[in-house]
Structure 1
Amino acid sequence: MTTIHDLRVEHHRDALGIGEAEPRLSWSLADTQGAAQTRYQISVSDEISGLRADADPVDSSESVLVPWQAVPLRSRERRQVRVRVWVAGESEPSEWSEPIVVEAGLLHRSDWNTDFVSPSVSHSAEGPRPAYRLRSRFDLPAGDVARVRIYATAHGVYELHLNASAVSSDILAPGWTSYLHRLRYQTYDITGLVVPGQNTISALIADGWYRGRLGFNGGLWDNYGTDVALLAQIEATMSDGTVHVLPVSSAWECAPSAIISTGLYEGEEHDASLDDLVEEWTPASVLPFADFTAEIVAPTGPPVRIIESIAPVGVEVRPNGRIRLDFGQNITGKLRVTVTGPRGHTIGLHHAEVLENDELATRPLRGAASIDRLTLAGGDHPFTWTPHFTFHGFRYAELENWPGEFLPEQAVALVMHSDMERTGTFTSSDPLLNKLHENVVWSMRDNFLDLPTDCPQRDERLGWTGDIQVFGPTAAYLFRSTGTLVSWMRDVAAEQKALGSVPNFVPWIECGFPQDPAAAWGDVAVMLPWTLYQRTGDIGVLRDQYESMTAWVDQVDALTGHSGLWNSGFQLGDWLDPTAPPEKPDDSRTDRYLVASAYHARSARLLAQTAELLGNTGDAAKYSAVADRAASSFRYEFVTPSGRVVSDTETALSVAIMFELLANEDQVQRAGARLSELVIDSGYRIRTGFVGTPIICDALARVGAHDVAYHLLLQTQTPSWLYPITMGATTIWERWDSMLPDGSINPGEMTSFNHYSLGAVADYLHRIIGGLAPAAPGYREVLVAPVPGGGLRAASSELVSPYGLVRTGWTREGTKLVVRAEIPSGVTARVELPDGSDPIDIAAGSHEFVCSYRPAEDDPAAVQRVNLHNPEERALLETA
């Protein structure tokens, strides 16, 4: 009997306090014996009254983001939703799914009936500031209370307690948005925490991103305001549906906290001896809600939480008395320590990603001190502590001035990031390739702390647009990250409208970096929505971002003088070309205006396709013309009639091939042959930066040079993807040589050991090596076309797609190749075997195919090329 799994709402992991009045539903099917869904029916019932409304059955095979089939939700409304389906060959429907509960948040600004409250303390001086305590009391209404909610947000970051119990496990709420435009609020269920009669609500609140230091070159304070303030509305819903908004704002009090200073870059200082001092509460200041004009919105993605804890794998007492902890993994997070010591004794917690000269390497942190300090209250009982309002990027930590003997169980590292569900995996017979993929996963985790950032450790941690533009396909595969990215893209659109262009990082901070539009970075406005549509099937993402997409392409079209050739102004180009000097990361071998013009053509083409999908036929024609003009100008300016590309670099050739800018297939093959020559000439070492790196293996695959791509991918000498692994990397580095072979750190001022952008190659691993590629939006159709090579004996990709689990993989046994595919209900697939046989179309179910296969490395010509240009690779192949 068919069963329904994973019924979900929009892109939410938790449907409490959502901001959609008509949320779309998705589900996947199991036990269909390969039969496709032919009809579905949605049932919505009121949890309090029990009234149930079954919508009319809909004849459709769709099961992803299907329209809401009930009366739109009003603010606070709570509904139970179930689905059942019919599949081909069965006359009866499935059983109803297990119900999920959907509850709307406060959908309108007028729903807010309280004010912000702020500690009555002014801090005009720049520097780390303390956290403050706020509290108020409220009486629970008499009668049968069905549920109690807190709707809360802050200028700053906050934690809530009710009657001394934590309200949630969220960290650094409300997260970071473009606060002048959008401020997210959170909905918390406190039904189980309230007691009859009087209750006490309390909060810790600190600067966070709102008022703390942000940016590089010294950073800026008070970017969004000089206040820290809490907005908290408490509501009780009675069993008859009556809603009581409980008055609290006029009674708030404030007091100092034991957190005497805290900052995202600086670290946190906590004096536990202050916890037991006599409390001195004074009235808090009331800041009228009406004075703040930012839109108050519900989250579309998950909150930041502690995801896991890691025990140290190494403990060493240093000559200076510090205790060094090695956690074996570079993470974003913080330490939790348990300690006993005399009153007034202060411990320092120092953090770093790597060691240099057997010391913590703190130079790459630049202005981020990343030091936490704990002053003890004394007593005989162990005290367990972790910072509240900061985070660090680190693998190593040193405990300074630890009292007495240290035991390894007294310190753990807490991993923090947005609480996203893992969806995609990859594995192969090559341990180094597997480690590369694992490092990509970790760098995504470490840089998805509420929004997609560049790095988690130094005085930056910004939402760089270029990084997520190239990494978007990998992000969409590895985790259910759409909700997080949708929120961030709305900030992109808001900043774009306010500033007149897409800034190079979002939220935008005026910290000295050029605001000028830059290709590949600003193109995120088009490319990331397109990527999410392709990977999730959510056309709503395109609809929501359409104004932003058109504004970007129109702006660049105007900058080209409507010629299609973007050949003036500021550009970042092929950023971090490995040949660039450490102090000039933009000094690429590739013409930056070639990159700019190529991206303009690509974005215009994707926008034309978007317009067609949305039914905007006039715009589709308009932007097709812009794309044609840009492609023609690109060829005129940068391509010879025979297919040679200006700059003659791997990046220039890759963008020309992958962005479909060449005139015909002969030019594509000519460019591909030259690309292969350049890669071989380099000794299969990387010579691409941000723009070329994500697509070079795909460009080689496009022209059939798979053996060249494999040798480039499997290179272990610097610069290469695998070189950092030979140096002990557990995340993706910002530079190919962030650490030099002698163990010293790259002398460049900009050196991080945790950037995901160069890990965008993982998308190639998933699609080309593992053989799992989307052939239609949302993986409704899948292309199973694995390309073995590189001496690999096996590889596989696995994805929890919007329709369910997809598995592909292959194993090599001599000259025989076995290809396997597992396809969920509602999905079809095309299998293309590497023996050149005709494609095979398959439906849901488990499938196995066997074909003959002669590895490219068995080709004497290929081996000769390897031996001639890169002798050390010969041993790798012979070993394989």
Structure 2
Amino acid sequence: MANFIVCKLRCEYKDNPIGIDVLRPRFSWQIHSHARDVMQSAYQIQVSENDPHFQQVIWDTGQVQSDQSVHVVYEGPPLKSCTRYFYRVRAWNQEGQMSEWSEIALFEMGLLRADEWRAKWITPQFETDQTQVCPLLRNTFTIEGPVETARVYVTSLGLYELELNGERVGDWVLTPGWTSYNKRLQYQTYDVTHYLREGANAIGVILGNGWYKGELGWEGARNIYGNQRAVLLQMHIKYADGRNQTVVSDETWSSQTGPILMSEIYHGEIYDARLERSGWSTAEYDDSDWYGVTVLSREKDMLTAQENMPTRIVEEIKPVRLIYTPAGEKVLDMGQNMVGWIRFKVTAPAGTEIVLKHAEVLDRDGNLYTGNLRRAKQTIRYICKGKGEEWYQPHFTYQGFRYVQIEGVPGDVKLDDFIGCVIHSDLEPTGRFECSNELVNQLQHNILWGQKGNFVDIPTDCPQRDERLGWTGDVQIFIRTAAFNMNIAPFFTKWLRDLKADQFSSGGVPSVIPNIFSEDSKILSSSSAWADAAVICPWTIYLCYGDRRLLEEQYDSMKAWVEYMRSQGDNEYLYNTGSHYGDWLGLDAKENSYKGATDEDYIATAFYAYSTRLLAKAARVLCKHNDVEEYQTLYKNIVEHFRREFVTPNGRLSVPTQTAHVLALWFDLVDETHRKHIARKLAKYIEDNDYHLSTGFVGTPYLCHALSQNGYNDLAYRLLLQTDYPSWLYQVTKGATTMWEHWDSIKVDGSFWSDDMNSFNHYAYGAVGEWLYRVVAGIDTDEEQPGYKHILICPKPEPALKYVKASLQTLYGEVASHWEIVDGQHMEVFVRIPANTIATVVLPHATLSVLREGDRPLEQADGIHYFEQVNEGVRMELGSGTYRFNYPLCDKVSN
């Protein structure tokens, strides 16, 4: 019997997905074993059609000699719409032992062609540009006999909720999500078999404005994508006797107003429970006084199956206290800046209005602060029907908040009557970071909660004010941190497809995706460090997940952006034209400016070089040999012109800022002979600033990396651990539970930075999380074998921290790196490597002569392929397994 098993089967990153439209889906699996040094030498996949017993196998790979266990492409017969497939995997190890078959997994195809949609787009007859009431649409149908399976394929213009026979279908919220609607619109698939009953049935849909028709942006624009909400729905029913039935949205449906009088993403919801239509989605309901519907003439070729993981209520939290503010407000403190809404219960007379106003912080007097919401109202109004205990939660809106002002509740406000529903895209948690400093642990908490709150179907900048847009700059600087915290591959697959869809014909890239601004609007397009998301994000997903397909899919978009930069101005090797956001919110900015002091042309050319370098790497991965040569040459020329323009013959940068020196070092833009001088100058700038940073959005993500990489790891730690302004931990000492937009969103005296742009949930500066994982804990991947097939573990400890524990769930399994300085004398290092991978591990400041694994010398330990003494310590190659190393420390770390 083999000492390993095949488990955790995934199809397109998902567990047993239904309603996918990937014609050649990819399979991944993990190998688990308690033994060390386990590698896969071969695999076998079997796929059957509607047959969990595999009597009707349609694709059998046979024994394939390969160690590939992620992204194995289906190569069988063409897959059919609305068909379920089962698959299983077994594997052989390097010794030729064969595993048992894995547990059976499945995937199910959705509607693969636009012409398979028999449903029609329908909208209520009373729908107008200005209609705010959320309409109800319904129809009835008859089930004649036992049902084997039933699926609903549904999408909407606007947001929808689906009901069948009086029950809410599924637990997804804010469907169908936000895409570049006129080019791409997701539909969702629901298994509704158990909702149906023999005889009369009814189906109902509630529609909301959402991002499609509602207000978007700080200028109050509406109807950006269209002015009529509509639904498209198709139900496929298969009877036990083989008959099929289809129920579709068409002109036979009815529509009526409901209790939701207004629901807007920014502003909240008004719900009058007295207007509820009890039983409206049941067959028994009398809809004789309802309006009809109008069929819209609208194409279906932009439809795509759900790509991202759904948005759900992922967790629930209880308020921690009730505050009576100096202004006389009753305010709930949720104890955490969160995103979602409040579910509450109330018993009150009919017509009683309950009002919930949401805010992130209290002002220095202790009153609710809403100034930073700008035009966003974030207010819920619920009007009671007066029939005993009533429960309510919003439908087509969400709020960013920690504090909730409560008005209208009769009698005492009881904490148990309120529940915080935390919503975000339901991404698999993958990373964990902990250390000996509790403030840093809270920082990691804040980074994670910033990601939760802003990964609501798209990566937003903030979740509370009248913005909540997919700013490309914020995304590209945070994406690697995000990939440590969660499995973001499906999330960014969807978002990058929208980036590609919204990219301008010139190759320029909008600043927000999905884009709601024109190319010539006053909102900058094609800004350096923002538009570079077109290149940086696909490359990062490739690095972290080995996703070659997405890289190939985005390659033309990547190339178009580089060519756009190349075409600007009169020198194809410098990007020195146009307007840019610069080092946004840098502390060295001039008075009344958001842009830091670092020269915009310097930043633009630096990112031009970086994106071109990544494009050349992508071309090599994709075997585009001509492009490899062209873009490697272009990169070299950009660097040469960058040096002529911005580096003196003596190796000094002409731009005297921290950010300029960070970019020069991290992007490898300076000659090696000048690197030490520039690193020393960066350190000097920090020392002269009383050991504090002055960087903004552009420089901060790479600051600690540049220091650690160039001999100033202790200084990087010192920046991390500063607790006064400006620093990461300053926010923590001020009670932050998410990341702030500004280093001083709350000033030392308790006042606020400003009202106009002051988010308390803004993940950008959380990009330091990447450094915590990659450098402090030392977990990284080799870009030659990406996705953690070849793992790199090289922690860089400093005595300022006594221990660090980090882990990452990769597609292969868990990678872990723990280190601890014991009694200031010894180092203990714990490493876990998943099966079917190898790792290069560098144990810092270790000496071969005294190094041991467990209680054994290295040469006696299983799984260690080789080891050698190097300048940094001891380098070794490990096979899979769990290892513990211990050794005495040299003075460098122990003092």
1:802 aligns to 2:811 (yes or no):
yes
Letter in 2 for 1:87: N
SS, match of residue 633 in structure 2: helix
Letter in 2 for 1:132: P
* Cα gap change, 1:241 to 1:542, in 2 (>3 Å): farther
CA distance in 2, matches of 1:247, 1:342: 41
Shift of 1:498: 5.5
1:429 aligns to 2:436 (yes or no):
yes
- Aligned equivalent of 1:70, options 76, 79, 85: 76
* Counterpart position of 1:519: 528
- Aligned equivalent of 1:830, options 822, 840, 852: 840
Higher mean C-alpha displacement, 45-54 vs 666-675:
45-54
* Counterpart position of 1:112: 117
1:376-775 aligned within 5 A: 376-379=384-387, 381-497=388-504, 500-510=507-517, 513-580=522-589, 583-586=592-595, 588-664=596-672, 666-747=673-754, 749-775=756-782
CA distance in 2, matches of 1:311, 1:647: 50
SS, match of residue 550 in structure 1: helix
User: Do 1:338 and 1:383's aligned partners in 2 also have CA atoms closer than 8 Å?
Assistant: yes
1:57 aligns to 2:63 (yes or no):
yes
* Cα gap change, 1:811 to 1:441, in 2 (>3 Å): same
Letter in 2 for 1:113: R
User: Do 1:78 and 1:103's aligned partners in 2 also have CA atoms closer than 8 Å?
Assistant: yes
CA distance in 2, matches of 1:500, 1:222: 26
- Aligned equivalent of 1:178, options 177, 180, 187: 180
- Aligned equivalent of 1:82, options 88, 93, 105: 88
CA distance in 2, matches of 1:847, 1:467: 38
Q: Percent identical across equivalent pairs? A: 38
CA distance in 1, matches of 2:678, 2:241: 72
* Cα gap change, 1:489 to 1:36, in 2 (>3 Å): same
* Counterpart position of 1:863: none
* Counterpart position of 2:264: 263
User: Do 1:789 and 1:855's aligned partners in 2 also have CA atoms closer than 8 Å?
Assistant: no
Letter in 2 for 1:580: A
User: Do 2:9 and 2:15's aligned partners in 1 also have CA atoms closer than 8 Å?
Assistant: no
User: Do 2:326 and 2:366's aligned partners in 1 also have CA atoms closer than 8 Å?
Assistant: no
CA distance in 2, matches of 1:25, 1:581: 53
TM-score by structure 1 length?
A: 0.94
Higher mean C-alpha displacement, 505-514 vs 627-636:
505-514
User: Do 1:131 and 1:262's aligned partners in 2 also have CA atoms closer than 8 Å?
Assistant: yes
1:256-405 aligned within 5 A: 256-275=257-276, 281-288=289-296, 291-292=298-299, 295-318=302-325, 322-356=329-363, 357-379=365-387, 381-405=388-412
CA distance in 1, matches of 2:240, 2:61: 26
* Counterpart position of 1:44: 47
* Counterpart position of 1:138: 141
Q: Deviations over 1:31-86 (max 9, x none)?
A: 26222111100011222595224331111011011111432311111111110001
Q: Deviations over 1:149-183 (max 9, x none)?
A: 11000000000000001111011100100101100
Letter in 1 for 2:842: E
* Counterpart position of 1:866: none
* Counterpart position of 2:128: 123
User: Do 1:215 and 1:460's aligned partners in 2 also have CA atoms closer than 8 Å?
Assistant: yes
* Cα gap change, 1:248 to 1:541, in 2 (>3 Å): closer
* Counterpart position of 1:878: none
User: Do 1:477 and 1:799's aligned partners in 2 also have CA atoms closer than 8 Å?
Assistant: yes
Letter in 1 for 2:8: D
Q: Deviations over 1:661-699 (max 9, x none)?
A: 1122x2111111111111111112121011100001000
- Aligned equivalent of 1:841, options 870, 877, 882: 877
CA distance in 2, matches of 1:811, 1:756: 29
SS, match of residue 717 in structure 1: coil
SS, match of residue 843 in structure 2: coil
CA distance in 2, matches of 1:561, 1:748: 41
Q: Deviations over 1:819-852 (max 9, x none)?
A: 1111011111111122133411111011122233
CA distance in 2, matches of 1:76, 1:730: 44
User: Do 2:325 and 2:367's aligned partners in 1 also have CA atoms closer than 8 Å?
Assistant: no
CA distance in 2, matches of 1:243, 1:456: 44
Shift of 1:393: 0.4
CA distance in 2, matches of 1:298, 1:122: 27
Higher mean C-alpha displacement, 195-204 vs 116-125:
116-125
CA distance in 2, matches of 1:838, 1:311: 49
CA distance in 2, matches of 1:576, 1:617: 40
Shift of 1:146: 2.2
- Aligned equivalent of 1:22, options 15, 21, 24: 24
* Cα gap change, 1:241 to 1:279, in 2 (>3 Å): closer
CA distance in 1, matches of 2:812, 2:56: 30
Shift of 1:474: 0.8
CA distance in 1, matches of 2:156, 2:510: 25
CA distance in 2, matches of 1:360, 1:318: 8
Q: Deviations over 1:592-636 (max 9, x none)?
A: 110000000010011011111111101111111221111111111
CA distance in 1, matches of 2:189, 2:269: 27
Give structure 1 stretches of 5+ with no counterpart: 860-880
Give structure 2 stretches of 5+ with no counterpart: 279-285, 846-871
CA distance in 1, matches of 2:288, 2:227: 23
CA distance in 1, matches of 2:271, 2:15: 34
Shift of 1:579: 3.1
* Counterpart position of 1:213: 215
User: Do 1:582 and 1:748's aligned partners in 2 also have CA atoms closer than 8 Å?
Assistant: no
SS, match of residue 777 in structure 1: coil
CA distance in 2, matches of 1:563, 1:174: 42
Shift of 1:300: 1.6
CA distance in 2, matches of 1:86, 1:789: 42
Shift of 1:513: 4.0
SS, match of residue 185 in structure 1: strand
CA distance in 2, matches of 1:633, 1:326: 55
TM-score by structure 2 length?
A: 0.92
Higher mean C-alpha displacement, 244-253 vs 254-263:
244-253
Shift of 1:815: 2.3
Q: Deviations over 1:422-459 (max 9, x none)?
A: 00111101101111111000000000000100000000
CA distance in 2, matches of 1:755, 1:497: 27
User: Do 2:232 and 2:249's aligned partners in 1 also have CA atoms closer than 8 Å?
Assistant: no
* Counterpart position of 2:281: none
Letter in 2 for 1:533: Y
CA distance in 2, matches of 1:731, 1:805: 26
User: Do 2:844 and 2:874's aligned partners in 1 also have CA atoms closer than 8 Å?
Assistant: no
CA distance in 1, matches of 2:28, 2:689: 48
* Cα gap change, 1:405 to 1:21, in 2 (>3 Å): same
Shift of 1:515: 4.0
SS, match of residue 195 in structure 2: coil
Shift of 1:275: 1.3
Shift of 1:499: 7.1
User: Do 1:13 and 1:302's aligned partners in 2 also have CA atoms closer than 8 Å?
Assistant: no
Letter in 2 for 1:103: E
* Cα gap change, 1:293 to 1:74, in 2 (>3 Å): closer
Higher mean C-alpha displacement, 51-60 vs 542-551:
51-60
CA distance in 2, matches of 1:408, 1:227: 40
- Aligned equivalent of 2:157, options 134, 155, 158: 155
CA distance in 1, matches of 2:292, 2:427: 36
CA distance in 1, matches of 2:323, 2:714: 45
CA distance in 1, matches of 2:574, 2:275: 64
Superposed CA RMSD in Å reads: 1.8
Letter in 2 for 1:698: H
